Chain A
Amino acid sequence: MRKVLASFLTLMFIGLAAGCSSEDAGEAAGGKTEVVFWHSMSGDLEPVLNDIVADFNQTHPEIEVKPVFQGTYEEALTKWNAVAGTKDAPTIMQTFEVGTKHMIDSGKVVPVQTWIDKDKYDVSQWEKNIVNYYTVNGRIYSMPFNSSTPVLIYNKDAFREAGIDPEKPPLTYSELKEAAKKLTKKKGKETERYGFSILNYGWFFEEMVAVQGGLYVNNDNGRNGDATKAVFNGTEGKRVFELIRDMYRDGTFYNAGQNWDDMRAAFQAGKIAMYLDSSAGVKTVINNSPFDVGVSYLPVPDGVERQGVIIGGASLWMMKGSSEEEQKAAWEFMKYLTTAPVQAKWHVRTGYFAINPAAYDEPLVKDEWAKYPQLKVTVDQLHETKSTPATQGALITVFPESRQHVVKAMERLYEGIDPQEALDQAAEETNRALQGAGR
């Protein structure tokens, strides 16, 4: 026993010594430009990101990118707020799409356009609809990185059982209602399977408004001057809320709460037959469901022309406080991320979009699409999007707060309140936040 312990301790010491010396080596090598990269990729996503970074570091010996996980987007942003402008700030920061305006207004970032111009980099190779979101006043502020859109996910086996063609998922509200009615299965007082569900999360509401061409805030979604007023309580928003209200009343809509995992668990357990999810979750859902999974576009109200979807996800920001050398290294890294092979790997292993559409021609993607044809649907939906202020998405600093108010309004719907009243209150609370933000 003692021998075992002794050898174990010895091993530990060796390990420690080795650990120290390798760190020393890193410092001694010097000359390397260090790029600290804060990100929010957790779970299955983090190892993929780390792999990509490791490949980059290996092929670029003069640069050392250090990825640091900083919690959810919200948490990371709070931490960043505390250190922005100091030497503790990272060189690259990943922030979610709704933080765009916040980052620009902070004045602590360098628009990537600066480096695009310096390097005469050709951005036409990037996915236009993704770049649009991050283009403000004609300049690309941040490097799109992980982008996703909402999709309708449905249980094909349940469709067959209910006598609906599994290759013809509902595209309009009335088709959705009808399908949900057929898919809902009751046993006594208990509902065994619900037809449809939407997570109580502001993003889905924003998307369902945008797909109809509706705006979230005034001044062209805040892209033509600062937004001063919420307009999501107009016709388009009302249609969405009425849909939820009607379906909930019919007993075909399942209230899944605010937790993504709860909703996915309910779908995989066969408790709901159709629901909205992020395209980035598609692959995991397909792998984990014990039945055939279909993926389709967001439904639109009857007689309304489909405008397309807003890009969700996150982008990479470059910090003003870092040296010219660090910025250049960061730019090198960003360029590397957008190359077709890297994007192909990223798309295939995560389900996020490729920023660089050339990635879709890579054999890696082609093989994967043959295996998971559903992944292609998400890309098609993005490609068919018309670029308008509605589908570019709203630019406001108080987005996280506004989303809370929308979530509350969705929850009040289940309590039986009038859709218009719930929306008006959320809009008014958003207005108050918008006015307070100017200070």
Chain B
Amino acid sequence: MNERVSPVFPPAPWSVRTKRAARQAAMKSWLEGMVYLFPSLLLFGVFLFYPLGRTMYLSVFHTDYQGQPTEFAGLAHFVALLQDDSFWHSLKATILFAALTVPTTVAVSFGLALLVHETRKGIGIFRTIFASTMGMSVGVASVIWMFMYNPAIGIINRLLSAIGGVPVSWLLDQDTALYAVAAATIWMNIGLTFLLLLAGLQNIDPSLYESARIAGMSYWRQLWTVTVPLLSPTLFFVTTVSLIQALQTFGQIDFLTKGGPVEATNVFVYAIYREAFVNYQFGSASAQAIVLFLIIALVTFLQFRFAERKVHYQ
């Protein structure tokens, strides 16, 4: 990488290059770089680094209802968390939720992208339909699903009764609530994942398929030896982003179940929200947020460490 960076100030033939001048030039180039970076540094600082620092700071304090630190707590919040059953419960729910949503979302989106990859008459209609959930906010989508799941008037139970099944209280039953929210979430996330994968597919050089056909490869063989390796950077990106998103799920939980029944859907971010904004325990909520941050950092690190090896960059 380094050899491709050209020096910002090429030495002028008439200048006498002393060490001091070189250092000045380096300083100048550094400053210039900083000027370019300034807008993004400012935004990151205000919206990312400051809140992160503040969260770390609050996680070792007791706070009043306004979120002002009152008394140093040390690691008390972290110790209390580790001893709290509902913390472990919400960790389990979050992992299960991610395991339910991420692979399914990617697999379904991949399938849909393959279906509409080839150019046919009217294919644009299907592409638009498959990508359409992208344009819907979590709130709107959740309300739609809330009505579909409604045990009394929801369409899902009506269809169930029509074919002779017994109605299910999807969001009110401890055993089905998390699956129901996961199904809604998969539907919500398909749009964007589908679009990214379709774009990835379109980028694959058609001549490769041509060669594969000449070599007499079957469709599945082509899929496995040409499409998947060349799409792997996109697949990797999509999986990483979906996983982070799944670990941070909040909106649909707030709309559909409020963490219930009996905490069955009390995923991590929702638990943090409740602790901070319903219970006004900003200290222990911050501690939970730090734990979540560490978990996401670890998972993402592991993904890059192991999964990225299988990624084929052209």
Contact flags A267-278 to B (C-beta < 8 A → 1, else 0): 001011000000
CB of A366 within 8 A of chain B? no
Q: Are B62 and A439 in contact (CB under 8 A)?
A: yes
CB of A137 within 8 A of chain B? no
Q: A102-B65, A407-B260, A414-B261 are in contact. Are A74 and B161 (CB under 8 A)?
A: no
Which residues of the partner chain B approach A200 to less than 8 Å between Cβ atoms?
260-261
- In angstroms, how far is the closest chain B Cβ from the Cβ of A252? 16
Mostly, the B contact residues are: loop
CB of B243 within 8 A of chain A? no
- In angstroms, how far is the closest chain B Cβ from the Cβ of A189? 5
Q: Are B71 and A262 in contact (CB under 8 A)?
A: no
Interface segment out of the listed A230-238, A279-287, A331-339, A398-406: A398-406
A216-271 contacts to B, CB under 8 A, are 255-259, 262, 265-266, 269, 271
Which residues of the partner chain A approach B172 to less than 8 Å between Cβ atoms?
255-257, 414
A389-439 contacts to B, CB under 8 A, are 397-398, 400-401, 404, 407-408, 411-412, 414-415, 433, 436, 439
Which residues of the partner chain A approach B257 to less than 8 Å between Cβ atoms?
258
Q: Are A258 and B70 in contact (CB under 8 A)?
A: no
Which residues of the partner chain B approach A190 to less than 8 Å between Cβ atoms?
161, 166-167
Name B153's contact: one of A75, A189, A265, A407 (CB within 8 Å): A265
Which residues of the partner chain A approach B153 to less than 8 Å between Cβ atoms?
265-266, 269, 271
Mostly, the A contact residues are: helix
CB of A106 within 8 A of chain B? yes
A96 to B234, CA, bound (A): 49
Q: Are B152 and A266 in contact (CB under 8 A)?
A: yes
CB of A183 within 8 A of chain B? no
Which residues of the partner chain B approach A404 to less than 8 Å between Cβ atoms?
274, 278
Q: Are B152 and A271 in contact (CB under 8 A)?
A: yes
Name B261's contact: one of A266, A398, A401, A411 (CB within 8 Å): A411
- In angstroms, how far is the closest chain A Cβ from the Cβ of B72? 12
The total of chain B residues at the interface (CB under 8 A) is 30
Chain B: CB-nearest residue to A85: B66
CB of A81 within 8 A of chain B? yes
Q: Are A262 and B150 in contact (CB under 8 A)?
A: yes
Which residues of the partner chain A approach B260 to less than 8 Å between Cβ atoms?
200, 257-258, 407-408, 411
CB of A78 within 8 A of chain B? yes
Chain B: CB-nearest residue to A187: B161
Count chain B CB atoms within 10 A of each CB in A102, A398, A439 and give the residue with the most.
A439
Q: Are B66 and A189 in contact (CB under 8 A)?
A: no
- In angstroms, how far is the closest chain A Cβ from the Cβ of B88? 16
Q: Are A439 and B152 in contact (CB under 8 A)?
A: no
Which residues of the partner chain A approach B171 to less than 8 Å between Cβ atoms?
257
Which residues of the partner chain B approach A407 to less than 8 Å between Cβ atoms?
260
CB of A4 within 8 A of chain B? no
- In angstroms, how far is the closest chain B Cβ from the Cβ of A239? 22
CB of B146 within 8 A of chain A? yes
Which residues of the partner chain A approach B251 to less than 8 Å between Cβ atoms?
none
- In angstroms, how far is the closest chain A Cβ from the Cβ of B277? 5
Chain B: CB-nearest residue to A82: B66
CB of B202 within 8 A of chain A? no
- In angstroms, how far is the closest chain B Cβ from the Cβ of A250? 17
CB of A84 within 8 A of chain B? yes
Q: A398-B279, A408-B263, A439-B71 are in contact. Are A84 and B66 (CB under 8 A)?
A: yes
A255 to B274, CA, bound (A): 23
A63-87 contacts to B, CB under 8 A, are 74-75, 78, 81-82, 84
CB of B174 within 8 A of chain A? yes
A262 to B150, CA, bound (A): 7
Chain B: CB-nearest residue to A108: B66
A313 to B261, CA, bound (A): 25
Q: Are A266 and B67 in contact (CB under 8 A)?
A: no
Contact flags A157-191 to B (C-beta < 8 A → 1, else 0): 00000000000000000000000000000000110
- In angstroms, how far is the closest chain B Cβ from the Cβ of A88? 13
Contact flags B47-75 to A (C-beta < 8 A → 1, else 0): 00000000000000010011100110000
A259 to B277, CA, bound (A): 19
Name B65's contact: one of A81, A257, A266, A271 (CB within 8 Å): A81
Which residues of the partner chain B approach A258 to less than 8 Å between Cβ atoms?
257-258, 260
Chain B: CB-nearest residue to A83: B66
A411 to B172, CA, bound (A): 9
Q: A81-B280, A408-B262 are in contact. Are A262 and B169 (CB under 8 A)?
A: no
A289 to B233, CA, bound (A): 56
CB of B151 within 8 A of chain A? yes
CB of B185 within 8 A of chain A? no
B145-170 contacts to A, CB under 8 A, are 146, 150-153, 161, 166-167, 169
A-B pairs with lowest CB-CB distance, top 6: A266-B152, A271-B152, A411-B261, A401-B279, A411-B262, A257-B172
Binding site for B on A (CB under 8 A): 74-75, 78, 81-82, 84, 102, 106, 189-190, 200, 255-259, 262, 265-266, 269, 271-272, 397-398, 400-401, 404, 407-408, 411-412, 414-415, 433, 436, 439
Beyond the given A74-B277, A74-B278, A414-B172, could you list 15 further A-B residue pairs with CB under 8 A, ordered by the A residue number?
A81-B67, A82-B66, A106-B65, A255-B169, A256-B172, A265-B152, A265-B153, A266-B153, A408-B263, A411-B174, A415-B174, A433-B279, A436-B281, A439-B62, A439-B71
